[in-house]
Structure 1
Amino acid sequence: MPELPEVETIKQTLQHLIQGKTITNVHVHWPKIVQHPDDISEFQTLLKHQTIQQMRRRGKVLLFDLTDVVLVSHLRMEGKYGVFERDEPITPHTHVIFEFDDHTDLRYNDVRKFGTMHVYAKGTEEVNKPLSQLAKDPLEAAFEPDPVVEKIQKSKRAIKNILLDQTVMSGLGNIYVDETLFLAHVHPLTKGCDLSTKQVDDVLKAAITTLQDAVTQGGTTIRSYVNSQGQMGMFQQQLQVYGQDGKPCSNCRSAIEKIKVNGRGTHYCPTCQIQI
């Protein structure tokens, strides 16, 4: 699943490719992707003749700011966007096509069909799903760490599960939670309420560092992720624990271990990350 760094990279590449273009037509080949409005023809009408002004992101969610409306797109597991000339062949699993006034297309491709799209009037997107259910992410200018620290220290859940909870802090998935906890020297099964304020601060600082580094590297390509120009991410070359089970820790040379935390594969160093 694309996490914050991948969605940020997609946002940056898409903004370069489509900013200022006007949508002239919209084709929807898999209606279930459209969650709001309920009527597909209304979805198409709302987007026609709208000019893309800028791209934004909240956590793992992509936002297209248009003239009068906002398109909110959650890529879920395998969603991806690409810009094509109108006469280029349409690849399998292309479910939504936005035609532009310059005879190019923005095409949404999703093998798993788990992605969602919502269109709202400008200014109402924050109070509607999915944004209304998302906390701020740690790379947002408006991010406030104190409420996150409080939520973590009040929770009896494992810190891994807390960091995956998008209502606490959005943007992190399995890859970056494992990397964050390794950098902060915190065991993934440690309960939030057992962490000191300094340890929680270390976790948040590690999350910011990890996410910023991953954005710089264009994200992480484990299976199929590519940005909107078809380029792979490179952060997988810097992974310290995720997917490294059995390999020596870069700090202490102990073997990286893999366990299940709430059903999620979780990687950590048993020496550097001691459970409290």
Structure 2
Amino acid sequence: MPELPEVETTKNGIAPHILNKTISAIEIRQPQLRWPIPAEVSEKLPNQTVRDVTRRGKYIGVHTDAGTLIIHLGMSGSLYFVEPNTPPLFHDHVDIHFGAQSPVLRYTDPRRFGAMMWQEGNWTDHELLNHLGPEPLTQAFNVDYLYAKTRGRKQAIKQFIMDSKVVVGVGNIYANEALFMAGIRPTRAAGNISKARLAVFVEKIKLVLAAAIEQGGTTLRDFIGGDGKPGYFKQELKVYGRAEQPCRVCQTPLKEIRQGQRSTVYCVQCQK
């Protein structure tokens, strides 16, 4: 599933090619994604100029004067460019056209868990976004904030940090990695972690996300960035996907468990 670095990479990949371009047409071949694509998308986007492309959590906002097209990549969605008149494949559900001579922005989604929604006015007022926590790479996400949020919480720290109401974009891959880098066992109760250890955890979350963005995200199965290239951060993973392999620090075989139906991999020696 594309996580924050993959979504940021996609946004950065498509933005230079669509900024200040006028949308000539929207071609929707499959209107039923995770939710039906609202009629406003096909009614209001044509003839609008793209003023900005931004990200909030795992959502991409394509902003026009009429409103914002909100895109979520779901489990297997991706955005990429094709030449005009390129025949669509079976899972290519939406094309955004920018004139007869311009490349077409194509949305493909084999599992159809992604979404395209519409919002007029402030796009973060949309019901999918208005409850989201702070962005992890901003100053709003800091140790004072996280310490206050964790007090009294018995939930395991890994599941806690993956809650988008607490902080956005710390998905399964990067939660595993940041916890390892901070030396925190993923099963430890969030409320039982000291402020000093949480300060390290916040630092490592920021570090691992920034590094993944720098390298274009993590390609595991379906993800391809908006520039059509895979992400290379998989080569840097220290624990995720490495169950039973030796810890890169102490050589102890890494342990894998399930938390909230997600794979958790950690080192029983390095993480306490």
SS of equivalent to 2:160: helix
Contact 2:143 2:195 in 1 (8 A): no
CA distance in 2, matches of 1:254, 1:89: 51
Contact 1:97 1:107 in 2 (8 A): yes
What is the aligned partner in structure 1 of residue 260 from structure 2?
262
- Quick one: structure 1 residues 141 and 69, their matched pair in 2 at CA, closer, same or farther if it must change by over 3 Å? farther
Contact 1:81 1:107 in 2 (8 A): yes
What is the aligned partner in structure 2 of residue 170 from structure 1?
168
Unaligned runs of 5+ in 1: none
The root-mean-square deviation of aligned C-alpha atoms, in Å, is: 1.7
* TM-score, L = length of structure 1: 0.93
CA distance in 2, matches of 1:117, 1:148: 31
* TM-score, L = length of structure 2: 0.94
After superposition, give the CA deviation of every residue in 1:147-167 in whole Å (9 maximum; x if it has no partner): 332112331100011011111
Among 239, 242, 251, the alignment partner of 1:241 is: 239
The alignment status of 1:188 with 2:183, answered yes or no, reads no
Equivalences for residues 15-164 of structure 1 within 5 A: 15-33=15-33, 35=35, 38=38, 40=39, 42-101=40-99, 102-123=101-122, 125-140=123-138, 142-143=140-141, 145-164=143-162
The amino acid of 2:49's aligned partner reads T
The amino acid of 1:117's aligned partner reads M
CA distance in 1, matches of 2:111, 2:169: 20
Bigger mean CA offset, 83-92 vs 112-121: 83-92
Contact 2:37 2:115 in 1 (8 A): no
Unaligned runs of 5+ in 2: none
SS of equivalent to 1:32: coil
The amino acid of 1:28's aligned partner reads I
- Quick one: structure 1 residues 151 and 36, their matched pair in 2 at CA, closer, same or farther if it must change by over 3 Å? farther
Aligned length: 271
After superposition, give the CA deviation of every residue in 1:56-109 in whole Å (9 maximum; x if it has no partner): 111211111223311111111011001122122212201111111244311110
Contact 2:5 2:212 in 1 (8 A): yes
SS of equivalent to 2:32: helix
The amino acid of 1:13's aligned partner reads G
